[in-house]
Structure 1
Amino acid sequence: MRNHHISHFRDIHVHAATVQEWNQDYSQLTAGLAESSLMQLTTARCHVFREQINQRVVQRGVAPRGKMCFAVPISVPGSTRMQGREVDDSSLFFLQGGEEFMFHMPMGMELLSITFEREWFEQALAQTASASEISRLLRQPVIRVSAQRFTQARLRLLAVLSLAEVDDELDSVREQGLERALLGELLQLLTDPACDKQQRSPSSTRSFIVEKCHRLTTAEMINVPSVNELCQRLQVSRRTVQNSFRSVAETTPLNYLRSVRLNGVRRTLMCTLASHLSIGDVAAQWGFYHLSHFAEEYQALFAELPSHTPRASIPVCARA
């Protein structure tokens, strides 16, 4: 049985929560109204989603357990990092089920994600001539493939999905054909002779610095460390931190870390009752104590005052 739908959003947190099976948070880093699209298709052994967001976001979460998760960039219009690795439009992304991840997505990027049931994927992999080589290759979160081969595979993948989108009566036979077509394209990329099976792409120092600052800031929300304090903890210069954020996220450390905390406020507001938590209480939870300054910064980032952000109609738990 197939489940297929296309959605459009004006809030990245609703967008992130709508992606089936994925436990993740998106944080908007660039200012302005967010506009995004999300196509999802679910079959018995596969989940596909295609997303595009007009703002720069950082995605953080855990890949679905019991799955093998691939992503194909359709367009890469700016600095992009997956698990600390710099990527381009000839990079295949891969995550093991249950693996934590951080992904820096530039403004306007479009991404196609394909997730397979692990057992089914491994059975298909075992039937290939280079199963052991591919298994070693899949220890990498970013896999470089032939640019020409990748372009051709991307076009075929999109064509397969376009046909599925217009077929409202996808029976079990055609559904299995769709699954095999998606899996076959990815396996062909990995077994292609032009794909170096020994490649290794270590995480960059700059990405490590940004990720560490991100984690320290969200772990200590009330006593938020300053940029100078982060420099001292990481034992690096302020210029090194500045250059790291410019390279990885195309912004300053101050703007990045403040934006991440403002996104935390927004998520908390949207999933709590106004009668349970005031805007001031939520802001304080995330280290904002001057309400007038906080409201200005919030509006500048989201094009909306915090008082206009929809609150939950029933109490739910927010993810930090």
Structure 2
Amino acid sequence: MDRPRSFDGVEQLAVHLSEAGLDLQICQLSDGPMRGQLALRRLGPLRLMRLQLNRRLHVAGPKPADQQVLALDLTQSPGPSLTPLRAHGVAVGPDMLFGLDVRSDVHLSTPEVLDLGVILLQPSRLKRSSTDLGWADIEATGLASNCLAISPERHRRLRGFLLALLTSPVPPPEGLSRDLLPLVLEAMVQGSSCQASLLPAPTRLELVKQAQQWVREHPQEPITLDALCRQLHAGRRSLLQGFQEHLGMGPMAYIKLHRLHGIRRELLEAHPGAVSIGGLAVRWGFLNAGHFARDYRRLFGELPSQTLAGGG
């Protein structure tokens, strides 16, 4: 196993995920310094990952083209959360597998504290194992949806096995991949029979995705709520409700967070003395220096000058 990698901030997390083959855009949604750890382990044809962090995030981007993704909550005793884990707008319960649909991208909103397990493998390997076990139609059942609710007992067994593999101080035998895959497949087959009870994602999710796309394509362009509604051909109420449902905030608050991240990236890449913090803030749409410094410190736990001094 690679040595578990600690990270401070979404920029370091994005680099670690990119090295693991996941090219994702990450936005921190809750205030305070972000800390976390990423553990990776290769087990025969499987790649296993554990992500632990302490702040709410929004994560989006493509899934690896040649990999089947399966994710589950590794929290031992998950308690109630005001901001549940959401995948494509669906609230992911404590006994779910998600991320299965290879046709969809990653669109994940996390709770304040996350302990996430991810299994990656080639789809052909999953299909071959399914056929060997007598479930030749796994693509038509278990992979027909992005989220599957499974029994608490199956989830507990799968979670415990995955944690044991990820935390073992010595590399486990590659043959254990043959023990993990049947647990995954049994859970998928059992979960597919309960799929009718899973609520679909709210329709406003697509509106949120369109707004996020506009923000990515116009990172510094001034915008008001009414102007954003006109860009999206959407009503204020629908846009406000969509963002509140999926990100726990309004669209303008999300845009401000997104642009604070843009400033932070520039500060981390700049050399002290080579950039004006005030000028950079104005370019990103922050006209009040005091309010900008306050918002920046609240989100990242440090002043812009401290970020600049530690960057370059």
**AA in 1 matched with 2:115:** E
Aligned length, in residue pairs: 304
Aligned match of 2:264: 266
Q: 1:1-320 residue pairs with structure 2 within 5 A?
A: 3-19=1-17, 20-75=20-75, 77=81, 78-95=83-100, 99-162=104-167, 165-167=168-170, 170=171, 174-192=172-190, 195-196=193-194, 202-271=200-269, 279=277, 282-283=280-281, 286-309=284-307, 313=312
In structure 1, distance between residues paired with 2:248 and 2:42: 34
CA distance in 2, matches of 1:61, 1:272: 26
| Structure 1 unaligned regions, length at least 5 | 314-320
Q: Which amino acid in structure 2 is aligned with residue 150 of structure 1? A: H
* Greater Cα shift, 271-280 or 288-297: 271-280
Residue 271 to residue 177, structure 1, CA distance change in 2 (3 Å): farther
SS in 1 for 2:3: strand
Report the Cα offset of residue 224 of structure 1.
3.6
Give the AA of the match of 1:166.
P
| Cα separation, 2, equivalents of 1:299 and 1:246 | 23
Q: What per-residue deviation string (whole Å, max 9, x for no partner) do you get for residues 14-71 of structure 1?
A: 1232121111122111111112122221345222111122111101122222111110
Judged with a 3 Å threshold, the aligned counterparts in structure 2 of structure 1 residues 213 and 126 are, in CA distance, closer, same or farther, namely same
Describe the SS at the equivalent of 2:38.
Answer: strand
Q: Secondary structure at the match of 1:70?
A: strand
Q: For residue 31 of structure 2, give the secondary structure of its aligned residue in structure 1.
A: coil
Equivalent pair of 1:17/1:24 in contact (CA under 8 Å)? no
CA distance in 2, matches of 1:280, 1:230: 26
Amino acid of the residue matched to residue 179 of structure 1?
Answer: S
Q: TM-score when scaled to structure 1? A: 0.82
Amino acid paired to 2:122 = E
Q: RMSD of aligned C-alpha atoms?
A: 2.9
Instruction: Give the 3-state SS of the residue equivalent to 2:47 in structure 1.
Output: strand
Whether the 8 Å contact between 1:13 and 1:25 is mirrored in structure 2 is: no
Q: Distance in 2 between matches of 1:269 and 1:161?
A: 35
Q: Distance in 1 between matches of 2:127 and 2:276?
A: 50
- AA in 1 matched with 2:260: L
Q: 1:207 to 1:97 in 2, by over 3 A?
A: closer
1:72 aligned counterpart, secondary structure? strand
Conservation of the 8 A alpha-carbon contact between 1:209 and 1:244: yes
Q: How high is the TM-score relative to the length of structure 2?
A: 0.84
Q: CA deviation at 1:82?
A: 0.7
Query: 1:240: Cα distance to partner?
Result: 3.2
Change (3 A) 1:155 1:22: same
Q: Give distance in 2, aligned partners of 1:70 and 1:207.
A: 22
TM-superposition CA deviations, 1:248-289 (whole Å, max 9, x none): 222233222211221222234334556776545654564445
Q: Does the residue aligned with 1:71 lie in a helix, a strand or coil? A: strand
For the structure 1 residues 224 and 115, does the alpha-carbon distance in structure 2 shift closer, same or farther, using more than 3 Å as the test? farther
Counterpart CA distance in 2 for 1:269 and 1:84 is 33
Deviations 1:178-231 (Å, cap 9, x if unpaired)? 322332221111123773367775431232232222222222122243222223
